[in-house]
Amino acid sequence: MTLELRAGIIGTGFMGSVHAHAVRAAGGEVIAVAGSSLASAEASASALGARTAAESPEALIARADVDVIHICTPNATHADLARKAIAAGKPVVCEKPLATSVEDARELTDLADRAGVVTGVPFVYRFYPAVREARDRILRGDAGRLWLLHGSYLQDWLVGAEATNWRVDSTIGGASRAFGDIGVHWCDLMEFTTGHRITRLVAKTSRAYDQRKTGGRLSSVATEDGATLLFETDKGATGSLVVSQVSPGRKNRLWFSFDGTEASFSFNQERPDTLHVGTTESSSEIAVGPQTLTTPGGRRYAKLPPGHPQGYQDSFNSFVADVYAAIQGLTPEGLPTFRDGLRAALITDAVVASAAQQTWVDVSGTDAPFELLKSSSAAERQKQ
């Protein structure tokens, strides 16, 4: 199989760089980058290892020597750029959130289906080997009946009224900030790992700072610093989630515990080299490595011996490698696509509505079967 895909990357910030590394790790080449101006693309092209800077995102999408488009720009620009990439008939990896409205996310999903282009949305925490190990063990029944699904996603990069970013502005980042930016990762991970889907939820959003400094002066903030959720799932579990971007000392602490009648599984993204498995007789930390993990999913994504932690960039590399395999006609199991981006938009919509109405809200679109469980390999695994 050849994986020498030629990529074009739009957006040259944090994620532009992460995508560029992952493209090369997958055997691809970064042909061109585009930014908010030609000057910004030119300034970043060599750092990102690109052959050239494109004049604009549109010029990059139109290039005959670019096979696949990566969209790594602020949230509100995603829908327009993804539409253009699909119209050009090119596979597209679009950063989360796929769009800042359900309508756009649904339209993009339909357009991509009709055009038959491969899509990817980087719900990248699915690609930790410990997560795949937990998922395989849970789906084969090791946890017993999952009844309590809980966790948190905490960061501290928005501590202080001086701290700001485009994500704080709802016209660029979307109506929900803390939940829309990081809560969606947790919900995706929970649904992916357990096979449960959130049917209804109640959310309370709040702010540590009502004003933040932008352009040298304090202005009012419309987006939340944190969100607290209670939810129910289609398989009868209850759950809770705390999300915050103002939790001093927590850098990128995505943590979950999925508790069943036989065992609980928990994982901390900041300590990705272990998976905690608890039973009434034992409480063990399983070291991550191809020799120590026992399930197909865990082994597939564990590339280094135990004690040599694989981290965020490694997971990203695995994600892009799977997207590129899909472009070449394979069907890697568990690849997050535009459909998962739409799912995240529906949950975010429910969080925003619940917080505004101060009431439980149904998550629409939950009646469709969980996409990943339809795939034969997952179904096979459930039979084991």
Write out the residues near ligand SOE by the rule CB under 6 A. 155, 181-182, 185, 252
Considering beta carbons, is residue 240 or 252 the nearer one to ligand NAI?
252
The number of angstroms, rounded, from the C-alpha of 149 to the middle of its chain's C-alpha atoms is 18
Q: Which residue is nearest to ligand NAI (CB)?
A: 13
- Residue 4, phi then psi, degrees to nearest 5: -85, 60
* 155 touches, from ligand NAI, ligand SOE, none (C-beta below 5 to 8 Å by class): ligand SOE
Contact between 147 and 138 under an 8 Å Cβ cutoff? The reply is no
What's the rounded Cα separation, in Å, for the pair 295 and 293?
A: 6
DSSP H helices, 275-337, are 296-301, 312-327
What's the rounded Cα separation, in Å, for the pair 88 and 233?
A: 39
To ligand SOE, the closest distance from the beta carbon of 167 in angstroms equals 7
Size of the site for ligand NAI (CB under 6 A): 22
Distances (CA, A) of 206 to 133, 247, 254, 263: 35, 13, 19, 34
Considering beta carbons, is residue 181 or 224 the nearer one to ligand SOE?
181
Considering beta carbons, is residue 119 or 155 the nearer one to ligand SOE?
155
Out of 38, 52, 59, 77, the residue judged to bind ligand NAI by CB under 6 A: 77
74 lies in the binding site for ligand NAI (CB under 6 A): yes
Residues 6 or more apart whose Cβ sits within 8 Å of residue 152: 186, 241, 242, 243, 244, 253, 254, 255
To ligand SOE, the closest distance from the beta carbon of 244 in angstroms equals 11
The number of angstroms, rounded, from the C-alpha of 6 to the middle of its chain's C-alpha atoms is 23
To ligand SOE, the closest distance from the beta carbon of 224 in angstroms equals 13
What's the rounded Cα separation, in Å, for the pair 101 and 98?
A: 9
To ligand SOE, the closest distance from the beta carbon of 14 in angstroms equals 6
> Closest by alpha carbon to 263, among 235, 231, 286?
286
Omega of the bond prior to 97 within 30 degrees of 0, cis?
yes
Contact between 68 and 47 under an 8 Å Cβ cutoff? The reply is no
Question: What is the token pair recorded at 165?
Answer: 């970013």
DSSP secondary structure letters along 21-51: HHHHHTT-EEEEEE-SSHHHHHHHHTTTT-S
Site track for ligand NAI across 103-122, x = CB under 6 A: -------------------x
What's the rounded Cα separation, in Å, for the pair 93 and 79?
A: 12
* 75 touches, from ligand SOE, ligand NAI, none (C-beta below 5 to 8 Å by class): ligand NAI
Q: Which residue is nearest to ligand SOE (CB)?
A: 181
To ligand NAI, the closest distance from the beta carbon of 189 in angstroms equals 11
Stretch 169-228 residues interacting with ligand NAI (CB under 6 A): 181
To ligand SOE, the closest distance from the beta carbon of 337 in angstroms equals 17
What is the amino acid identity at position 261? T
* 252 touches, from ligand NAI, ligand SOE, none (C-beta below 5 to 8 Å by class): ligand SOE
Considering beta carbons, is residue 286 or 338 the nearer one to ligand SOE?
338
Of 71-79, 134-142, 145-153, 258-266, which segment contacts ligand NAI by CB under 6 A?
71-79
What's the rounded Cα separation, in Å, for the pair 149 and 330?
A: 32
* 72 touches, from ligand NAI, ligand SOE, none (C-beta below 5 to 8 Å by class): ligand NAI
Out of 26, 73, 102, 132, the residue judged to bind ligand NAI by CB under 6 A: 73
Contact between 161 and 213 under an 8 Å Cβ cutoff? The reply is yes
Torsion angle, alpha carbons of 345, 346, 347, 349, to 10: 80
Considering beta carbons, is residue 227 or 378 the nearer one to ligand SOE?
227
If you ran DSSP here, which 8-state letter would residue 334 be given?
T
Stretch 1-60 residues interacting with ligand NAI (CB under 6 A): 10-16, 34-36, 40, 57
Considering beta carbons, is residue 39 or 379 the nearer one to ligand NAI?
39
Site track for ligand NAI across 219-258, x = CB under 6 A: ----------------------------------------
Contact between 179 and 205 under an 8 Å Cβ cutoff? The reply is yes
Residues forming contacts to ligand NAI in the complex (CB under 6 A) are 10-16, 34-36, 40, 57, 72-75, 77, 95-96, 122, 124, 181
